Amino acid sequence: MALAALGAGRALDVCARSLLGGERKTDMHRYEDLVVWRMSVDLAVAIEAASNRARRTGGLFNQLRRAAVSIGSNIAEGCGRATDNEFIHFLSIARGSAAEVDTQLRIAFRSGHLSRASFDPMLASVQRIRWMLTALMRAQT
Plot region of 115 (φ>0 → left; ψ -120 to 50 → alpha; else → beta): beta
Task: Give the residue numbers spanning the domain of 34.
Answer: 28-140
Cβ atoms of 29 and 18 within 8 Å: the answer is no
For residue 30, what pLDDT band results from cuts at 50, 70 and 90? confident
> Within a domain: residue 102?
yes
C-alpha to C-alpha distance for 3 and 67, rounded to whole angstroms: 18
Do residues 10 and 38 touch, judged by C-beta distance below 8 A? Answer: no
When divided into structural domains, the chain yields a total of 1
Evaluate whether residue 75 is within a structural domain. Answer: yes
- What is the pTM assigned to this prediction? 0.80
Residue 101 domain-assigned?
A: yes
The answer to whether residue 39 is domain-embedded is yes
Mean pLDDT of 9-30: 46
Neighbours of 137 (CB within 10 A): 17
Considering the domain boundaries, does residue 14 fall inside one? no
Instruction: Report if residue 113 sits inside a domain.
Output: yes
Tens of pLDDT, residues 60-107:
899 999 999 999 999 999 999 888 899 999 999 999 999 999 999 999
Q: Per the domain annotation, does 41 fall within a domain? A: yes
Find the CATH number of the domain harbouring 47. 1.20.1440.60
Task: Say yes or no to pLDDT of 134 above 70.
Answer: yes
